[in-house]
Amino acid sequence: MTATLTRTPPATAPDRPRRPVRPARVVLHLFLGAVAVGWLFPILWALLTSLRSYDYTARNGYVSLGGWTLDNYVTAWKTAEFGKHFLNSVYITVPAVLLTLFLASCVAFVIARFSWKLNIVLLGLFTAANLLPQQALLIPLFRLFTQVPLPAWMSDSELLYDSYWGLILVNVAFQCGFCVFVLSNYMKALPHELYEAAMVDGASVWRQYWQVTMPLCRPALAALATLEVTWIYNEFFWATVLMRTGDKFPVTSSLNNLRGEFFTDNNLVSAGSVLVAIPTLVIFFVLQKQFVRGLTLGASKG
Amino acid sequence: MSDLPLIQADRAVPPPAATTSTGGRGRRLRLLSRTDRVVITLMVLVPLLLVVGLIWLPAVATVLLSGTNWDGIGPVSEIDWVGLKNYDDVVNIYPPFVPAVQNNLLWLAALFVVATPFGMFLAVLLDKEIRGSRFYQTALYLPVVLSLALIGFVWQLIYSRDQGLLNAVLGTQTDWYGDSNVNIWAVLFAAGWRHVGYIMLLYLAGLKGVDPSLREAAAVDGSSETSTFFRVVFPVMRPINIIVLVVTVIESLRAFDLVWVINKGRNGLELLSALVTSNVVGEASRIGFGSALATIMLVVSLVFITLYLATVMREDRR
């Protein structure tokens, strides 16, 4: 091994002149490869389990090969009524993400565009709100939601409690802070001359926001949208405590009901888990760059 | 209650700001038409009402309720002020409280002492522009896109007593999620698995932001890679370090989904967040008592949120 390694650099030199193969690199790759495989393993294991029949694994143990089937997916889809729950997630996630981005960009625009004394207080109020532990606000919110009436056409519970509206509102309120923080940083970096030109042209504040600022923020908005879709889709706590009717649960919170139905059949649990993971995994693989950029935009100015 | 005056003050903001601020900005504000001022006010006021109404006022209400004996059923007029009695009860006569605090601290320690340094270490390795870096990175932060509730289910396939991989391989009969002696460790492993990817991502971004000339200068001075990292790179990443610290503390305080899907935070998996939830939504609706628990969480988190804000706002002014 060492002999080949010491002999290789001259041979590969024309291809990659600056990088001779060093033992340290090999160790590095072995280490990172092992960690990466270890990290993927639980997910791959869930996938593998979901593709095998319960009878086969019960007879031969899980550490075996064979019994391949897609039946778990069919059964899981039917028993857990995934179609309905996915639709519930869409009803909550899509309006919540659009509303969050719209409201947050409004506040961020004002913070970035005008310098008032209260800007820093505003930014603090929004950013801190995103970091508070949700459970600490549960008691008053729970009481509030059970007191606020809604017309029957909006919610069949006739309350904010146990309605999609309530979940949308609480998600928007919580996620606004992060988006205000990221967007205001992004907007502050836009050149000031743009607004001076817009003012000379007589553009109103609303046009400066909608037609000048928003188009320029597209990269940040795309990154935030990706991140918020995964976060709100993954949201578990509020849906668990502010919903009562099992039929209305979004898919992440409905998971908890599934376990009762599936209780001893891990092959079904894994098929259910894979089904729930699919939307976020698709988003992740298609929009990976956006997802990562969104996360790091919050940590350092991008 | 300090939130209310803010809303009112905000409406009156444009005129005083225009007179008090100096130079060009002041002039620009005075140029705003009436419509523009209305638009600006609405742009701030609508989101602000939502955040104040659904987050800040409930936070204040939690603190206030923690001093009462309200059971959530009687009229508000019958609420009695009991001072710090709820806190006294929480600490002295509520058996799950001490385990919950211990578990929250354990959570923090595991994420902070094991998962965070490991994530940082991986970020340093992956920062070296090696081949296949994309693959390694993707594999490591893949768990970050999954919800913690889902992670509970995924790991059940490994931890389950009769059908789990771990017992099959080890030949043991441990109920990893059910046995109150081991379940917190099993859960922490799963939580750490996700946390490492997140931290790696944050540090990878932080490392990209470090001025390369700093490293070159250190290399010219004959500093080794390790000492360059600890003496030059790490201190320069101070803002990221503080953000990571706060994210870790907040995550360990807010930890909820994972234990809730396993056993609703009982039998070895007590956490403050789960105790608050079961005191309100569960059978017993003890509002004052639950609020005292919630206030403890609120106070701890506010300390670290303030630290976070101070850091990011200082960055902001640069």
Contact A266, B156 (CB under 8 A): yes
**Cα–Cα distance, B177 to B155 (Å, whole number):** 9
Give B176 to chain A, closest Cα distance, Å: 15
Would the CB atoms of A136 and B297 count as touching at under 8 Å?
A: yes
Residues 6 or more apart whose Cβ sits within 8 Å of residue A15: none
Half-sphere exposure of residue B63: CA atoms within 13 angstroms, side-chain side: 10
Category of B72 on φ-ψ map: left (φ > 0), alpha (ψ -120 to 50) or beta: left
The structure tokens listed for B284 are 């017993």
* b/e sequence A212-249, b meaning 16+ C-beta within 10 Å: bbbeebeebbbbbbbbbbbbbbbbbbbbbbbbeeeebb
The structure tokens listed for B128 are 């070296």
- Dihedral of CA B63/B68/B71/B77: which sign? negative
**Cα–Cα distance, A236 to B255 (Å, whole number):** 12
For A141, list phi and psi in degrees, rounded to 5: -65, -40
For A41, list phi and psi in degrees, rounded to 5: -55, -50
The structure tokens listed for A299 are 């940590």
Contact A237, A250 (CB under 8 A): no
Give chain A positions within 8 Å (CB) of B287. 139, 143
pLDDT tens by residue, chain B, 318 residues: 222 222 222 333 333 333 333 444 444 555 678 899 999 999 999 999 999 999 999 999 999 999 988 776 666 677 788 888 889 988 998 999 999 999 999 999 999 999 999 999 999 999 887 888 889 999 998 999 999 999 999 999 999 888 888 988 898 888 899 899 999 999 999 999 999 999 999 999 889 888 888 888 998 888 888 888 998 899 988 888 988 998 899 999 999 999 998 888 888 999 999 999 988 776 666 888 889 999 999 999 999 999 888 888 776 665
From the list A42, A115, A172, the residue facing B25 with the nearest CB is: A115
Q: How does pLDDT run across A57-81, given as a tens digit for each residue?
A: 888 888 888 889 899 899 888 888 8
The answer, for B75 touching chain A at a CB cutoff of 8 Å, is no
- Give every residue of chain A whose pLDDT is below 70, as ranges: 1-20, 257-264, 298-302
Give B263 to chain A, closest Cα distance, Å: 10
- CA A74 from chain centre, in angstroms, equals 26
**Which SS3 state, helix, strand or coil, does residue B256 take?**
coil
Contact A235, B260 (CB under 8 A): no
CB neighbour class for A188 (10 Å; exposed up to 12, middle 13-18, buried from 19)? middle
In this predicted complex, what is the ipTM?
0.85
Chain B segment 99-118 residues within 8 A of A by beta carbon are none
The answer, for B316 touching chain A at a CB cutoff of 8 Å, is yes
**Which SS3 state, helix, strand or coil, does residue B82 take?**
coil
How much is the pTM?
A: 0.87
The answer, for B122 touching chain A at a CB cutoff of 8 Å, is yes
Would the CB atoms of A35 and B140 count as touching at under 8 Å?
A: yes
**Cα–Cα distance, B138 to B141 (Å, whole number):** 5
